[in-house]
Amino acid sequence: MRRISNIRAPRVVVAGIESGVGKTTIAAGLMAALKRRGLKVQGFKVGPDFIDPSYHMAATGRPSRNLDTWLLSKSRVVSLFKHVMLDADVAVIEGVMGLFDGLSGRSHTASTAEIARLLKAPVLLVVDVSRMAGSAAAVVRGAKSLGKGLSIEGVILNKVAGEKHAKWCSEAIKRFTKTRIVGALPYNPDIALPERHLGLIPTHEREEIQEKLDAIALFIEEHINLDAVLEIAKGAPRLSSMARIRKERIVDDEGRPCIAVAYDEAFNFYYWDSLMLLEELGARLIFFSPIHDNILPKDTAFIYMGGGFPESFAKQLSENWSMINALKKAVEDEMPIYCECGGLMYLTRTIIDFDDNKYRMVGVLDADTRMTRQLTLNYTLANTIRDNLVSEIDEKIRGHEFHFSVIEDVPRDARFAYKMIHGRGIVNGMDGWMIHQTQAQYTHLHLAANRKRAEKILAAAKKYTSR
């Protein structure tokens, strides 16, 4: 480990007073516009979101990272941020919900405000002014008053009705809060990012997403002062740290166990830092598609199947019998397999979609998945009740749940790795269904929260390879 002192890391947080003010569109547009200036732009997302970062990656060409003080310790959040920023010119950090929305109303824990304070990052506050004028000053003043230790350096007015409306809002904000207006965006439904049942559409599903982002970038360039944004970003204080320099990628794959990672239209919810940690520890990651590939990658010693939208691609998944049979054989062969959410659903007998259409899946878990209209969205805390692929008995694990499905007709004798303390799990407050060397759960984990989890995965892969 090499000491890196005084990392400059220009950075801004794009935050709102509430959800739905346009943060994702504006953040992704800023990323794309700054990239058009030739800058290496690094996207970040506050909280456990997997979907918004897919837009960030499309806008920047770099994997977006999640900053979450529930899943990771504060020191780990700062460390990961500094490490990623070693080869970037500027960071655009998209907030979650409203600026001060966190785990409860009693504190700002796990909120955008907490991350901004932690990273000493200036905030650009997005205010939807479609139903106000001078009152916008009260919104900004209230945020600055509540945000002690927070640096709200600029305001972006969204959904202005015209120049006169923008002027009224700007005059009031400048007069009563002394805060800089860096942009005023007229209402434009044509640039809004599309929605779906789990939020925003992942980039995999829309070939035209780059065209959409290009249009958003042009809109941002026209209505936001990018020079002012960069000035604010560069005004962030330097960060000193003991940051790790990324090692050169190992060219020689000999002796490195192969971890096959499901990654396609149906499965794409991963924390990028989790994958990078596995690689850093010595794994050889190979991506495969349960939709398009007929066989598992050569020399596979461990399968990692994350979340995603298997219900949206249930027909394609059900028709790929070659992959289904390959996965059944891997389970029966005691290959270690770790699945989260979408991966769990895929391993059940069937997926019953929102229209009651039933599609056969892998079927190694003797239950069915049914899509519902009820969202399960929680941070989770669980106690490990059985040693498993990622944790040891009595170990507490933190994660999150995000799905519109339930698992039905789970056998009474099903074995589980976790008993939920907070969160729902699969059934009766239990999660982490275990069969052979397979573990499938609703809970999403961030492996970088505890290196031992990634080390356990690697050990399981090595053990299988050495059989």
Number of neighbours of residue 151 by Cβ within 10 angstroms: 18
Beta-strand runs (E) in 211-266: 239-241, 258-262
CB neighbourhood size of 131 (10 A) = 7
> Which of 128, 198, 208 is closest to 169 using CA atoms?
128
Amino acid at the residue 160: V
H/E run at residue 372: strand 365-384
Burial class, 283, CB count within 10 angstroms (exposed 0-12 / middle 13-18 / buried 19+): buried
Query: What ranges make up the beta strands (E) of 172-257?
Result: 180-186, 195-196, 199-200, 239-241
Dihedral sign for Cα 68, 70, 71, 72, please. positive
Q: Closest Cα partner for 432 from 360, 341, 303? A: 341
Q: Is 142 helix (H, G, I), strand (E, B) or coil?
A: helix
DSSP string, 188-204: -GGGSPPEETTEEPPGG
Which two structure tokens, joined as six digits, stand for 227? 């020079």
Q: Angle 136-146/163-177 helices, nearest 10 degrees?
A: 40
Between CA 461 and CA 275, with CA 459 as vertex, the angle to 5 degrees is 70
CA distance 77 to 67: 6
Residue 315 identity (one-letter amino acid): K
Alpha carbon distance, N-terminus to C-terminus of the chain: 34
In one-letter notation, the amino acid at residue 98 is G
b/e map 358-368, b = 16+ CB within 10 Å: ebebbbbbebb
Which residues does residue 378 pair with via DSSP β-bridges, in sequence order? 401
Tokens of residue 216, six digits? 């958003």
CA 359/CA 348 separation, integer angstroms? 10
Smallest CA-to-CA distance from 328 within 370, 288, 290 is with 290
For 184, phi and psi rounded to 5 degrees?
A: -140, 110
How many CB atoms within 10 Å of residue 188?
Answer: 14
Q: Could you give the residue numbers annotated as active site?
A: 341
